[in-house]
């Protein structure tokens, strides 16, 4: 089957999948757990074939690590599925209800978006996670994984697809695309695909965002800032700066730049450097930073770089305004933190920083669907429409308007003897 | 100032405009009313210059009509502004609040999207309406109007801009673009413009949707259907079909195709034809329609055509399923209606028709922000994300996440002695 046919099948399947009951969807998710556990050996063997080929092709060690899908990954995937079963059905929720006139009632009701295109690099666990999120939310899904995980992806997609169909999902609800040209095909399918969710490196996500007119849910860069204000508790600022930078460096919500108010720089920076030195963090500082502590000189590009490593850039600023301007200029609209004891400044920071997550006196690392209590995470979005920040299942949902009347026509509400609308919330 | 500079100014202005208080925004709207009324003569004179030029260039009569901005249009614009003042501030609403742990509280707070690009043909009233909607919602706006309305647009933009700045809006919050190349510039400004709202013909909107990676809020076609089920009350079906087609033909929510269940065709179609003949509606029917009433033959293209005129296509279908399939295949996802006395069929129609508005036993013409009671209408969207159907001010809003802690770090919630999150709604 070619990609267009797969997309057409998904387009048909979405209608029935969107009306599949909550029980059937949960039974499908349970079938997937059973399937993954029953075919454990075959999955690991398929993954081993991918790993062997990747090793032969000298794939880099971090890529090999992400490619690995072993017993533990299967267990984690099953845990994720079990927790997804516990979530409420996101479909059919009445978001708003208004009586327009007697006997004419309007309901805004949640429904799936339709067909989600998922493009991901390496990690086969992303396939299980996103396919099951689509299933729970009633969306058909077209999956395009990395070539290096072809064997693993094939068996996983097959288990998920047949498990769901056995529970009542329509054939064609899940399509796996495999050839290299399929990504470009998918990006051009604005008639079939309603939303694209990319999972991969910054460069990969940016490429996707720039090459499609289909909406893309996600983020490329995560250039997060911690601003230590003049009114900050410096012990707290130290804890937060260290956690934001070092708790896990290879993630989008780790801090890349520290902004320090000039009133604090002289006392704070030496203490910070001591701790960063202990942790092996390389510091690149502006001139005013270099006047206080011994650091490499930051260049313009540093302010716009997501290191994803034990490196941090530091800039001393004159004011909250300068900090906010710097963040809005160089940041990626992901997560930015102020450490301050001043309530008014905290509020101004939260209002004026144009980012998905604006935090006061806590670590940037809290920016995460699980920590936010969303139950499931579709991704973290730096979009300005639809869904922003950590996105749960609601990111895969939209709504439709149901209007139920009893022969009502617009002509009765226009002209000289026009009836009036009641517009009463119900 | 070139378009890039205008966009940069808007990008700066959006930060302050987004935090402008409700009182100041309403004062700005009130200033606009005063300004429009005080400069009534100058506006009408500027518009007359545009009309004279357009007449010289032999602009078509409907275009001339839309271009006209006279005393009555000024009055209507002022009424729109007055009702906008009465709406609640859409900025700063707490949409959700969760305690993550003691002293660590998460708030999902509504905020403006940022910079809205508005591209519109002819009608100068669209400029006043959309600029004031952006102002109320705290969004900066870049406006590109039609060349034929250049004089009118210039004076209106000037009145609105200066009225708002007098009330405290930041300079540069409104930019008017005038040259022909500005549209292409605007479509390429994905770094500056967060959302595009087009106002114009189907072809115009479709062109915009296909030539930008910036999200576009709106709709191209409005191919709306009325399906008369076998269980329909035929008097009601007649009223609804007539209202949906004839109450106002030149609008997106008018019906273009009627689907009739085979059980009703023989009794319903002759009655319908009689009424359509009275109204001067041309009917193009499928073969089974032609077997019952005397009509022109519909061709394949008819099912995908938005006539915006006194023309309707009619198809006899075997079942609800065939009606739903036809709508999902040929429709535009705008508004579709079922007339039926059967509750289960009504529900199935509303669930399976993949359109923004799915109506039961009422006219398609109710699909409208005012009739829905939204207070203001940004447009009607056939998008599958962000906002769908008639869109009020909420279509210009997004949210950010504010997390307020007291030195909280992620390290405390990981590893062996990990603290647990409370995730308690507050």
Per-residue model confidence as pLDDT tens digits over B3-58: 889 999 999 999 999 999 999 999 999 999 999 999 999 999 999 999 999 999 99
Quick one: average pLDDT of A247-271? 96
Residue showing tokens 């002509």: A411
| Complete DSSP assignment for B264-298 | HHHHHHHHHHHHHHHHT-EEEE-HHHHTTS--EEP
Quick one: average pLDDT of B341-346? 98
Quote the pLDDT of residue A60.
Answer: 85
Quote the pLDDT of residue A64.
Answer: 87
Quick one: average pLDDT of A403-424? 96
What's the pLDDT tens digit per position in A178-189? 877 778 889 999
Chain B residues close to A363, C-beta within 8 Å: 408-410
Quote the pLDDT of residue B12.
Answer: 95
Is pLDDT above 90 for B193? yes
What's the pLDDT tens digit per position in A380-397? 999 999 999 999 999 999
CB contact under 8 A, A402 and B359: yes
- Could you say which architecture CATH assigns to the domain B3-91+111-217+378-398? 3-Layer(aba) Sandwich (3.40)
Measured in angstroms, the CA of B389 and the nearest CA of chain A are apart by 7
Equal CATH topology for B3-91+111-217+378-398 and B224-366: no
Determine the Cα–Cα distance for residues B18 and B140; give it in Å rounded to an integer.
8
B413 interface with A at CB cutoff 8 Å: yes
Is pLDDT above 90 for A376? no
Domain boundary assignment for chain B: 3-91+111-217+378-398, 224-366
Looking at per-residue pLDDT, the higher value among A16 and B147 belongs to A16
CA torsion angle A47 A49 A52 A56 (round to 10)? -130
What's the pLDDT tens digit per position in B359-390? 999 999 999 999 999 988 899 999 999 999 99
pTM above 0.90, yes or no: yes
> Of A242, A247, A357, which has the smallest distance from its Cβ to B403's Cβ?
A357
**Cβ contacts of A3 within 8 Å, gap of 6 or more:** A142, A175, A177, A182, A185, A186, A189
Mutate which of A237, A352, A407 to test chain B, going by most B C-beta atoms within 10 A? Answer: A407
Is pLDDT above 90 for B183? no
Q: Minimum mean pLDDT among A19-28, B210-219, B231-240: which range? A: B210-219
CATH class name, domain A3-217+378-400: alpha beta
Chain B residues close to A350, C-beta within 8 Å: 400, 402
CB contact under 8 A, A362 and B194: no
B212 interface with A at CB cutoff 8 Å: yes
Question: Phi-psi bin for B361: left (phi > 0), alpha (psi -120 to 50), beta?
Answer: left
Residue showing tokens 């072993």: A70
DSSP B147: G
Measured in angstroms, the CA of A358 and the nearest CA of chain B are apart by 5
Measured in angstroms, the CA of B189 and the nearest CA of chain A are apart by 12
Classify domain B224-366 at the CATH topology level: Aldehyde Dehydrogenase; Chain A, domain 2 (3.40.309)
Determine the Cα–Cα distance for residues B171 and B149; give it in Å rounded to an integer.
24
Other beta carbons within 10 Å of B348: 17
Residue B302 pLDDT grade (very low, low, confident, very high; cuts 50, 70, 90): very high
Q: Which of residues 275-334 of A touch B (CB under 8 A)?
A: 324, 328
The CA–CA distances, whole Å, from B420 to A133, B29, B273, B414, B417 equal 24, 49, 69, 9, 9
Cβ–Cβ < 8 Å for B83, B376: yes
| Closest chain A residue to B240, measured at CA | A409
> Of B15, B235, B421, which has the smallest distance from its Cβ to A352's Cβ?
B15
Mutate which of A102, A116, A244, A366 to test chain B, going by most B C-beta atoms within 10 A? Answer: A366
Determine the Cα–Cα distance for residues A20 and B345; give it in Å rounded to an integer.
16
Is pLDDT above 90 for A146? no
What's the pLDDT tens digit per position in B253-283? 999 999 999 999 999 999 999 999 999 999 9
Quick one: average pLDDT of A87-112? 98
Quote the pLDDT of residue A121.
Answer: 82
CB contact under 8 A, A360 and B408: no
Quote the pLDDT of residue A409.
Answer: 98
Specify which residues B199 forms β-bridges with. B120
Is pLDDT above 80 for A226? yes
Q: Minimum mean pLDDT among B72-76, B78-82, B140-144, B374-378: which range? A: B374-378
A347 interface with B at CB cutoff 8 Å: no
Residue B140 pLDDT grade (very low, low, confident, very high; cuts 50, 70, 90): very high
Is pLDDT above 80 for A1? no
């Amino acid at each position: 089957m070619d990609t267009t046919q797969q997309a057409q099948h998904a387009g048909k399947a979405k209608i029935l999948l969107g009306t599949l009951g909550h029980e059937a969807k949960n039974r499908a998710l349970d079938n997937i757990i059973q399937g993954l556990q029953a075919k454990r050996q075959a999955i690991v063997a398929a993954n081993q074939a991918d790993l062997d080929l990747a090793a032969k092709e000298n794939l880099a060690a971090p890529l090999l690590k992400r490619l690995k899908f072993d017993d533990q990954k299967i267990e984690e995937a099953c845990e994720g599925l079990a927790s997804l079963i516990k979530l409420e059905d996101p479909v059919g929720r009445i978001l708003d209800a208004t009586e327009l006139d007697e006997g004419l009632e309007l309901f805004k009701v949640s429904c799936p978006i339709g067909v989600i295109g998922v493009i991901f690099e390496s990690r086969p666990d992303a396939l299980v996670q996103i396919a099951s999120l689509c299933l729970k939310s009633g969306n058909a899904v077209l999956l395009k994984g990395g070539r290096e995980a072809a064997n693993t992806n094939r068996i996983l997609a097959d288990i998920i697809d047949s498990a769901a169909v056995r529970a009542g999902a329509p054939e064609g609800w899940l399509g796996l695309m495999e050839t290299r040209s399929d990504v470009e095909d998918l990006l051009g399918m604005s008639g079939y695909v309603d939303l694209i969710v990319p999972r991969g490196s910054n460069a990969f996500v940016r490429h996707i965002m720039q090459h499609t007119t289909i909406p893309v849910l996600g983020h490329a860069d995560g250039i997060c800032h911690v601003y230590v204000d003049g009114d900050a508790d410096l012990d707290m600022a130290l804890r937060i700066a260290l956690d934001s930078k070092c708790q896990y460096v290879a993630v989008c919500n780790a801090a890349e730049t520290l902004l320090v108010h000039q009133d604090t720089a002289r006392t704070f920076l030496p203490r910070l450097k001591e701790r960063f030195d202990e942790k092996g963090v390389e510091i690149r500082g502006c001139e005013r930073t270099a006047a206080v502590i011994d650091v490499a000189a930051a260049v313009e590009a540093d302010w716009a770089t997501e290191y994803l490593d034990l490196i941090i850039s530091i800039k001393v600023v004159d004011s909250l305004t300068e900090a906010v301007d710097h963040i809005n200029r160089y940041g990626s609209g992901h997560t930015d933190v102020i450490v301050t004891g001043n309530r008014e400044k905290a509020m101004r920071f939260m209002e004026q920083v144009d980012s998905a997550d604006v935090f006061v006196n806590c670590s940037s690392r809290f920016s995460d669907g699980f920590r936010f209590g969303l139950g499931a995470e579709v991704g973290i979005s730096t979009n300005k429409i639809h869904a922003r920040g950590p996105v749960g299942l609601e990111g895969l949902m939209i709504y439709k308007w149901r209007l139920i009347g009893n022969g009502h026509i617009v002509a009765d509400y226009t002209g000289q003897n026009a009836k009036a609308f009641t517009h009463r919330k119900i």
